[in-house]
Structure 1
């Protein structure tokens, strides 16, 4: 998960000439049970905001245990930046729904992707807590802590074997059980996408624009594991649809992968700001698609 976050966000930091680092737990043998997609979404939002609000210096993620027992580990995630920081009054408003802090910050830097209030709610749904340490002109540290269970020792080889079986180019469908909503205004693209996904065992629903995508999700908020979203579409484009998804507490947990024919650095940042989790190049490469979507299959219950 941390490697995926590094691959996704490091370029955004380097484009602003910022140092970006991830500090992992000192013990490499942790096997913990949690919700990797929710944790990843919260981290992408916090790190993306840190990069956006930092004009020079560094952004870092530190993951470390704060309490360990034979049954569980309490992990602390800290995202630190050397950005603009914020006043105590701004901090008190920051986690309220749809609040983006000071109006001057909003005008200067735009929205905040997934939204801090929704990120906080996600953490609380995982029985964790989130907080903030900041001062004007002195950067910010957003942190959250989660209690994660250790699986019984007898289950560890099975867990590792399951992960290995997905990462290998195994015979047979590799996306069994994955419920995908594909969104594209090009009928041929949708046909190709549907055929490729069904051949890999996925369940596929199609939409021709962002508005239709939202209508489907709002009617069936618990029926999809991932959305594949074209960016340039009539009626409603992919970024507008993604922002709307992120602002809806019933839908905000759903990962969105942008389908793009080519992404400039500023376009990539705009997509991340909207709440996109990842990118998939068009025309689709089947091997790349399988590898990327397997990441979401591993997170299925």
Structure 2
């Protein structure tokens, strides 16, 4: 039996999908239909009364049947009731929650005029007169089909008006008997089906147009919000670059004055060199902030989440900031960990570097501690919470939201350039969102701060090396080849590296590098060389034939495609201007920073 009932059940379900009137997935559509029903049909009782009057007066004159008067009282009483009912309705007060119920209530009332028109063939049918039967058929079928078409967007109303009229007319014609009345009765049934079919198609088109209107409004609203967001970003970027312009020009001006004061006849004083170094550091801080902004903008949609072992990343951060912490007599501690998190290694490295740098800046004594603890991830699974704690000045409750805004710097009203542009925590928040996480903050004035983010845990067996290392040879002189088409860069690198005790060779063109004798432990190459040459291609060729054992690529171009290109080649990538301490740590065997 279940097998026998299955086809009939499926047929009924299909018929319900086609003909049933159900709540719309978007209740705003039902609300719109309910409101427009009242607004569009308030005046229809007048036109309907005029049509009905022509109908019953015509048959009263032609037949003299007193049933026409009975029907006239019924139809006009019904129309008067419909008129006052629609006038009392307040469509603006229809709520979304009960929109379908309200629409159903309004549309169901169309059954009354449908039944009244269905009574006409039984109250004054012109039996025996084919011309008058044809006239009645014309009146009722035309009125019914026209009304169904006018009510198409309200499917229930169209059905409740059309079905009684056509079925009543068909039944009375079949009861009349005779060839022509019987054919007309069958034609009325066919006309009912055709009217409902076309009305349903029209109903779906009209409802879809309402849906499209809401979708267009939603898209327009989304576009408006996106344009507002873009305008805000543009204004923010303008503020950032205006501030950066000021903070770049000031140390450049000071540096130019110091250089102009140098004389071949008198060696520079130690204080002058310290001031020059401070100016260079201020320049680097501003440029690094702009670099982070450019990379965050370029990589927001290109983050590659992979298993990242956190220990090498934290070790690289320790080497990078140990000197800064020591200069302020701070204890910089990184607790050992075997954690592996799902993240983008470069984005996470920059994020933590900003947090550690911020902690050192605002801590005047005590400890900066970086730890990794087990926690629940944002998705609810196993995760790791990375915390950066300090014993610094702390943050008041009223300022906790402001610290993540661009340019905000607690305890820096004088805009000390050595403290940066105030973009660090703003960038940290953006990078956390790129990793599908967020920054949590616990702090109290005078008691330090703890910034943390939680990332999903990953398996060590799947972890990929998040950073490429250069072979460690601490205390050993290395042969280093510098390949760069800019003469000042080559000379500066020669002075720096040779000062550290390395044997340095310089080349401006790949052919010069090929002609240099012997092999090199390390190639420091620019990504783009003069004349449109690819420094990466040259490095790959030199590496492939054993001319250089290892490669580090430098670039001043922040295009994210460069990062992908170098990553595919398997080389570390450093952005200019490179920090000398970072480069020194790299030569000593540290991981390439992001």
1:140-179 equivalence runs, <5 A: 140-150=449-459, 153=461, 155=462, 159=464
- Aligned position for 2:330: 18
For 1:38-83, what per-residue CA distance to the aligned partner results, in whole angstroms no more than 9, with x for missing partners? 2121111111111111111111111112138xx9741111111111
Which of 199, 204, 218 aligns to 2:527? It is 204
Q: Distance in 2 between matches of 1:194 and 1:128?
A: 45
**Separation of aligned partners in 1, 2:416 and 2:469:** 44
Match of 1:55 in 2: 364
> Per the alignment, do residues 133 and 4 of structure 1 end up closer, same or farther by CA in structure 2, a change over 3 Å counting?
same
Distance 1:183 1:111 in 2: 31
Partner residue of 2:562 out of 223, 234, 237: 223
Residue 89 (structure 1) aligned with residue 398 (structure 2)? yes
CA distance, structure 2, for counterparts of residue 114 and residue 227 of structure 1 = 21
1: distance between equivalents of 2:458 and 2:385?
14
Quote the residue 1:288 is aligned against.
587
Whether the 8 Å CA contact 2:368–2:388 is kept in 1: the answer is yes
**Equivalent residue of 1:136, what SS?**
coil
Match of 2:583 among 254, 269, 279: 279
Gap runs ≥5 in structure 2: 1-312, 473-482, 494-505, 514-519, 531-555, 567-572
Distance 1:77 1:96 in 2: 22
Match of 2:428 in 1: 119
SS at match of 1:89: helix
Report how far residue 150 of structure 1 moved: 2.5
Distance (whole Å) between structure 2 residues aligned to residue 51 and residue 135 of structure 1: 17
| Structure 1: unaligned runs, 5 residues or longer | 170-180, 208-215, 230-237, 239-256, 261-267, 269-277, 282-286
Q: 1:64 to 1:183 in 2, by over 3 A?
A: farther
How many angstroms does 1:118 deviate by? 1.0
The separation in 1 between residues aligned to 2:446 and 2:413, in whole angstroms, is: 14
Q: Compare relative contact order (CA 8 Å, sep 6+) and give the higher one, 1 or 2.
A: 1
2:439 to 120, 130, 141: 130
Name the SS of the counterpart of 2:368 in structure 1.
strand
Contact 2:385/2:454 (CA < 8 Å) preserved in 1?
A: yes
Cα distance per residue 1:140-170 (max 9 Å; x no partner):
111111124336x5x56xx58x98x96669x
1:98 deviation in Å? 3.2
Residues matched between the structures, number: 216
Deviation, 1:111, is 1.9
Aligned residue for 2:587, secondary structure, equals helix
Q: How far apart, CA to CA, are the structure 1 residues paired with 2:509 and 2:382?
A: 41
TM-score (norm 1): 0.57
CA distance in 1, matches of 2:485, 2:371: 35
Structure 1 residues 31, 131: closer, same or farther in 2, change over 3 A? closer
Measured against aligned partners, the alpha-carbon deviations of 1:242-291 in whole angstroms (never above 9, x if no partner) come to xxxxxxxxxxxxxxx32x4xxxxxxx7xxxxxxxxx2349xxxxx928x5
**Alpha-carbon distance in 2 for matches of 1:39, 1:194:** 35
- Where 2:592 maps in the other structure, the secondary structure is helix
The structure whose residues are more often helix, as a share, is: 2
Three-state SS of the structure 2 residue aligned to 1:63 is strand
Whole-Å separation in 2 of the counterparts to 1:50 and 1:36:
21
CA shift, 1:221, in A, is 4.6
- Bigger Rg over Cα: 2
Contact 1:63 1:75 in 2 (8 A): yes
Name the SS for the 2:406 alignment partner: coil
How far is 1:202 from its partner? 6.9
Q: 2:574 and 2:435 mapped to 1: Cα distance?
A: 23
